[in-house]
Structure 1
Amino acid sequence: MKELRSIHGLSQEYLIEHTGLDIFHFENGSKNPTTVSLAVLCDFYHITLGEFFTPMNYPPKEK
């Protein structure tokens, strides 16, 4: 998650504001995201769940 956020140049605060997800806890490992949370994140980044779990060697998609 952190790598994806960094690729897009976003802060945790921005992502929290726009998704309502507990990004801080997901990134530091104190909580695991649910499948619903992952779906929200994928929707935000305009990627599929499959793309989320692939290695990060693809450019960010245009919004």
Structure 2
Amino acid sequence: MAIETVEAVLFPGIEVRVERVSDSSGVLVVEALSTARPGRCPGLPETGAAHTARINET
């Protein structure tokens, strides 16, 4: 049996990094961040993150 990472088991096919795992009142809480490159906005030459930042500045 191959050893797998927590990320591979909980989020198969998604590029994430698990930051914290905790047990809160019997509920497992997993905090994870995306490690994937930001996507592009349809019809725009910039990334989605850049477009969102520009919108928030206005």
TM range (shorter): under 0.3
Give 1 or 2: higher strand fraction: 2
TM-score of the two chains, using structure 1 as the length reference: 0.22
Bigger relative contact order (CA 8 A; separation at least 6): 1
TM-score of the two chains, using structure 2 as the length reference: 0.23
- Structure with higher Rg: it is 2
Give 1 or 2: higher helix fraction: 1
